[in-house]
């Protein structure tokens, strides 16, 4: 593609109000996709959101008008920490639901009591005879049907008007058939006032609506519990902050804090924004952000994150990130996006839901015909009862909830563990991974090497040569360079300003120091520059590499003068994490730019058998492609800028939260605490979530596959069908909530 011809893709997230089932979500998707400039739409029924991808400028008003025309209400999603409008709208809807449910239950209970008459004469029937009057029943059932049930009619009309059919259609058809047939019978038999002598179904229509509303009430409560992790994260940020202005301390609203402000955080207070310590010493609990339970010591220069808790001591904080730019806001945003995205496995439910309602209506009509003309010829009441049961039992709510509520619960629990899945697809693909590749520096090791030996040909020149090497390295940001500079400063060596500095990717550096040409780097670099390598230094280099050291050559004015041996400590959790990954049946690789001897020495200490050594930064992505070409499902774990291409190419990119922003943006999963023992948890949470989704889909499908024929054969009364339908949705949500208990916790890892 030529420069300038690439289409910029933007997105808008909408909060949706008024959806009743998965078919509503599909209808909104189809409607929004018809708008010119909209390239993709992903509606999440459980989260009640829509993410709209745009290839050109489309106003938010156009999107909202389209949602309104489909019969729903849309709001533009606000900042993750300030999304009050949608929250208030959902609360208002929930209050209306509770009012409707209360009135519906009060009016339906007498009708439910009248059903005792169906069981013949018994000790209680004489007390309920007055309830069997058809006009009293109509008086009780009519408000339930036409006032409390009005939203079902509205939803059904909007659905049919837009060329679709949803749960509202099934509920409206079933309850209307029961009510109007009963009304017909009431007018037809003025002289009969005993319910037992009339085939009336007023109680069926009223109790069905009540049960459906009760199911929605339970579903709302359960979904609220499944998003508890995100709600608790959003509640971490304090409402105010203490700002230092001159000699005064003022309490101001958090929204008024700006980058550069100096804030005071007292002992026991929550840190308001991201920044660095200017003064003070304390320990800070960051477990709510990273999942790491051990408090972190903070002193001058230490980084602080908004939402973490200052345990003891007083800290002066210089704000560096506020509002939506803080780490806390980023975590919530990533998890919300993951919960709002669609996992590939959900396509199964989407395809079924798209054709399900018309098939059910046909099945109910056929059931009526078979009973009326075949099994019980002429019995309208009996045939209608079976058809109503089919309509009600088949509502596809459970099918629509099966995937999103599991994603909601799984990703929310993972966030509480310090694991951020950026998309639902990442949460699903992780369980398929069979090969995992670790970057060495900063991932398996701490990424803070130290210079532990400096070998020279002329001992009298040792400190002079080290001063030259450190002077040349001052302009480099590489961890090895920093280690050389820090050691020289520790020894009190005087450093000069380098000139003509040049970084040679994958090789080393060149600079002029005190008029001398300094070259630091690999064997290959020195040979390419015409430097003859000293045999004694080469022999010593080989020995150092076998011990796991990284060795750098020093050339001064074209003469091989010294070698620098640097080592990086392996993380304590590396061996245990890799052993656990192997127990999952994983193939574990290590990839590094280090030479083969050093790489194998480090890999052996970690328990890794497969080593990809001497790989240049640009070659890491190629190595990942080779593994994928062999049919492997590959996860790449890294933390540096040079890992970003490999993270993007892998089936699953896992970045350490202690690494660079580029690596985090290129990855699919972020491990906030940088703890290697959390990597197996990424795969385990994925496995449990996908298994939970499959359970939900299986039981939702089995429920409908068995429920429809049972209802059609006359073994299920309509009111029982309504109760079973409501319970199916609630059971799916409750099953998803089990993920919050089953996910691996930090304490469980520590116990291992």
Where do the structural domains in the chain lie, given as residue ranges? 13-77, 91-212, 240-325, 419-444+570-685, 448-569
State the Cα–Cα distance between residues 711 and 294, nearest whole angstrom.
57
* Residue 409 pLDDT greater than 90, yes or no: no
Q: What is the pLDDT of residue 600?
A: 86
**What is the strand order of the sheet 282-285 is part of?**
296-298, 282-285, 309-312
For residues 52 and 41, is the Cβ–Cβ distance under 8 A? yes
At 3 the pLDDT is: 37
Is pLDDT above 80 for 559? yes
User: Does residue 73 register a pLDDT over 70?
Assistant: yes
- Interval 492-520 mean pLDDT: 89
Tokens for 132, please give them. Answer: 């069997």
The secondary structure of 250-275 as a DSSP string is EEEEGGG--TT-EEEE-TTPBP-SEE
| pLDDT attached to residue 234 | 66
- What is the average pLDDT value for the chain, to the nearest integer? 78
Beta bridge mates, 240: 253
Model pLDDT for residues 215-237, shown as the tens digit of each residue: 677 666 655 555 555 566 666 77
Which among 345-354, 488-497, 732-741 has the top mean pLDDT? 488-497
Strands of the sheet with 73-76, listed across from one edge? 38-44, 49-54, 10-17, 73-76
155-168 exposure pattern, b = at least 16 Cβ within 10 A, e = fewer: bbebbeebebbbbb
CB distance 548 to 590 below 8 Å: no
80 pLDDT higher than 80: no
- pLDDT of 525 above 70: yes
Rounded CA separation 29/342 (Å): 12
Nearest alpha-carbon partner for 708 in 378, 399, 381:
399
**Active site annotation includes 439:** yes
Q: Quick one: fold of 240-325?
A: 2.70.150
Bridge-based pairing of strands 10-17 and 73-76 is: antiparallel
Say how far apart CA 20 and CA 11 lie, in whole Å.
25
CATH level 2 (architecture), domain 13-77:
2-Layer Sandwich (3.30)
Name the fold adopted by 419-444+570-685: Rossmann fold (3.40.50)
Lowest mean pLDDT among 41-45, 165-169, 271-275, 552-556: 165-169
Share of the chain above pLDDT 70, in %: 78
State the DSSP code for 7: P
What pLDDT, in 10s, does the model give residues 21-69? Answer: 667 777 888 888 888 888 888 887 767 778 888 877 788 888 888 888 8
More confident residue, 189 or 633: 633
Quick one: pLDDT at residue 563?
Answer: 93
Which carries the bigger pLDDT value, residue 377 or residue 184? 377
- What does the pLDDT read at residue 659? 47
Partners of 121 in beta bridges? none
Integer angstrom CA distances of residue 48 from 411, 429, 657: 16, 24, 29
| Alpha-carbon span 449 to 548, nearest angstrom | 12
Q: Would the pLDDT of 100 be above 70? A: yes
Q: Is pLDDT at 686 greater than 70 in this prediction? A: yes
pLDDT digits (tens, 9 = 90+) for 116-137: 555 444 444 555 566 667 788 8
Residue of 274, 350, 439, 681 marked active site = 439
For residue 660, the model assigns a pLDDT of 46
pLDDT in tens, 560-617: 999 999 888 888 888 999 999 999 999 999 998 777 888 888 888 889 989 998 887 6
Strand ranges (DSSP E) for 186-229? none
The answer to whether the beta carbons of residues 628 and 646 sit under 8 Å apart is no
Distance CA 110, CA 107 (A): 7
Whole-number Å distance between alpha carbons of 198 and 192: 8
Q: State pLDDT tens for residues 331-374.
A: 776 666 655 555 566 666 666 666 777 777 888 888 889 888 88
* pLDDT in the model for residue 750: 40
**Torsion of Cα atoms, 207 then 211 then 216 then 217, to 10°:** 100
Q: Check if the beta carbon of residue 392 is closer than 8 Å to that of residue 722.
A: yes
Residue pLDDT, tens place only, 526-547: 988 899 998 889 989 888 888 8
Kindly state the average pLDDT of the residues 277-291: 78
The whole-number pLDDT of residue 614 equals 81
Mean predicted confidence (pLDDT) in 389-400: 70
Strands 296-298 and 450-456: unpaired
Q: Is the four-CA dihedral 332, 334, 337, 339 of positive or negative sign?
A: negative
- Return the pLDDT at 484: 92
Q: Which pLDDT does position 380 carry in this prediction?
A: 79
Given pLDDT bands bounded at 50, 70 and 90, which one contains residue 302? confident
Instruction: State percent of the chain over pLDDT 90.
Output: 10
Angle at the Cα of 736 (from 733 to 741), degrees rounded to 5? 130
Angle, in degrees to the nearest 10, between helices 22-33 and 397-416 = 90
* C-alpha distances in Å from residue 51, one per residue of 38, 43, 91, 338, 429: 11, 6, 22, 11, 21
Confidence of residue 190 (pLDDT cuts 50, 70, 90): low
Same CATH fold assignment for domains 13-77 and 419-444+570-685: no
Range in 63-77, 132-146, 192-206 the model is least confident about: 192-206
- For 426-458, the pLDDT digits (tens) are 888 888 999 999 988 778 888 788 898 898 988
| b/e map 280-302, b = 16+ CB within 10 Å | bebebbbbbbbbbeebbebeeeb
Please tell me the CATH code under which domain 448-569 is placed.
3.40.1110.10
Using CA atoms, how far apart are residues 79 and 305, in angstroms rounded to an integer? 18
Q: Among candidates 212, 105, 109, which has minimal Cα distance to 152?
A: 212
- Whether the pLDDT of residue 88 is over 50: the answer is yes
Phi first, then psi, for residue 320 (nearest 5°) are -120, -30
Q: Is 686 in contact with 434 (CB distance < 8 Å)?
A: no
Strand partners, 304: 275
CA 409, 414, 417, 420 dihedral sign is: negative
pLDDT category at 2 given cuts 50, 70, 90 is very low
pTM above 0.75, yes or no: no
Mean pLDDT value of segment 701-715: 79
């Amino acid at each position: 593609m030529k420069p300038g011809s690439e289409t910029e893709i933007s997105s808008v997230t909408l909060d949706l109000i008024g959806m009743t089932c998965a078919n509503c979500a599909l209808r909104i998707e189809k409607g929004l996709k018809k708008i010119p400039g909209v390239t993709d739409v992903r509606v999440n029924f459980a989260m009640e959101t829509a993410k709209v991808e745009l290839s050109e400028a489309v106003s938010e008003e156009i999107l909202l008008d389209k949602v309104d025309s489909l019969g729903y209400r849309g709001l533009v999603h606000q900042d993750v920490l300030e999304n009050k409008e949608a929250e208030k709208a959902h609360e208002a809807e929930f209050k209306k639901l509770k009012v409707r449910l209360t009135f519906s239950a009060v009016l339906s209970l007498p009708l439910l009591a009248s059903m005792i008459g169906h069981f013949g004469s018994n000790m209680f029937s004489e007390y309920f005879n007055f309830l069997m009057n058809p006009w009293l029943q109509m008086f009780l059932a009519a408000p339930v049907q036409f006032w409390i049930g009005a939203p079902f009619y509205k939803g059904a009309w909007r659905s049919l008007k837009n060329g679709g059919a949803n749960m509202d259609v099934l509920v409206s058809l079933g309850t209307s058939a029961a009510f109007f047939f009963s009304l017909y019978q009431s007018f037809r038999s003025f002289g009969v006032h005993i319910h037992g002598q009339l085939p009336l179904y007023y109680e069926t229509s009223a109790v069905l609506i009540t049960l459906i509303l009760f199911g929605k009430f339970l579903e709302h409560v359960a979904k609220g519990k499944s998003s508890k992790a995100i709600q608790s994260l959003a509640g971490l940020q304090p409402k105010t902050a203490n700002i230092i202005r001159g000699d005064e301390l003022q309490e101001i609203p958090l929204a008024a804090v700006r980058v550069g402000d100096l804030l005071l955080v007292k002992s026991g207070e929550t840190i308001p924004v991201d920044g660095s310590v200017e003064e003070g010493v304390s320990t800070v609990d960051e477990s709510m952000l990273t999942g790491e339970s051990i408090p972190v010591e903070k002193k001058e220069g230490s980084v602080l994150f908004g939402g973490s808790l200052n345990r003891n001591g007083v800290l002066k904080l210089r704000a560096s990130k506020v509002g939506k730019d803080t780490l806390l806001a980023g975590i919530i945003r990533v998890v919300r996006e993951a919960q709002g995205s669609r996992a590939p496995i959900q396509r199964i439910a989407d395809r079924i839901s798209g054709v399900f309602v018309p098939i059910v209506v046909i099945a109910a009509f056929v059931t009526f015909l078979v009973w009326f003309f075949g099994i019980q010829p002429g019995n309208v009441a009996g045939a209608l009862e079976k058809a109503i049961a089919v309509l009600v039992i088949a509502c596809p709510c459970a099918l629509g909830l099966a995937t999103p509520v599991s994603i909601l619960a799984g990703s929310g629990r993972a966030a509480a563990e310090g694991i951020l899945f950026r998309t639902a697809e990442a949460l699903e693909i992780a369980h398929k991974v069979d090969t995992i590749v670790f970057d060495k520096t900063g991932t398996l090791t701490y990424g803070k090497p130290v210079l532990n030996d400096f070998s020279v040909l002329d001992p009298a020149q040792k400190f002079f040569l080290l001063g030259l090497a450190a002077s040349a390295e001052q302009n480099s940001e590489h961890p090895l360079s920093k280690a050389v500079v820090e050691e020289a400063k520790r020894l009190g060596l005087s450093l000069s300003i380098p000139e003509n500095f040049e970084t040679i990717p994958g090789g080393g550096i060149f600079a002029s120091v005190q008029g001398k040409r300094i070259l630091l780097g690999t064997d290959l670099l020195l040979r390419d520059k015409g430097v003859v390598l000293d045999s004694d230094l080469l022999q010593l280099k080989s020995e150092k590499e076998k011990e796991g050291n990284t060795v750098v050559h020093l050339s001064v004015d074209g003469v091989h003068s010294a070698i620098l041996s640097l080592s990086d400590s392996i993380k304590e959790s590396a061996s245990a994490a890799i052993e656990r990954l192997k127990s999952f049946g994983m193939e574990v690789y290590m990839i590094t730019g280090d030479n083969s001897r050093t790489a194998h020495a480090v890999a052996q200490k970690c328990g890794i058998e497969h080593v990809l050594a001497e790989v240049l930064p640009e070659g890491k992505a190629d190595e990942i492609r080779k593994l994928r070409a062999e049919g492997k499902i590959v996860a790449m774990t890294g933390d540096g800028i040079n890992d970003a291409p490999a993270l993007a190419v892998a089936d699953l990119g896992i970045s350490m939260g202690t690494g660079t922003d580029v690596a985090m943006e290129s990855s699919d999963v972020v491990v906030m605490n940088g703890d290697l023992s959390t990597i197996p948890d990424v795969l385990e949470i994925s496995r449990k979530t996908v298994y939970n989704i499959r359970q939900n889909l299986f039981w939702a499908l089995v429920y409908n596959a068995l429920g429809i024929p049972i209802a059609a054969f006359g073994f299920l009364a309509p009111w029982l069908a309504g109760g079973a339908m409501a319970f199916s949705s609630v059971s799916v949500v409750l099953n998803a909530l089990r993920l919050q208990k089953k996910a691996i916790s930090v304490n469980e890892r520590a116990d291992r």
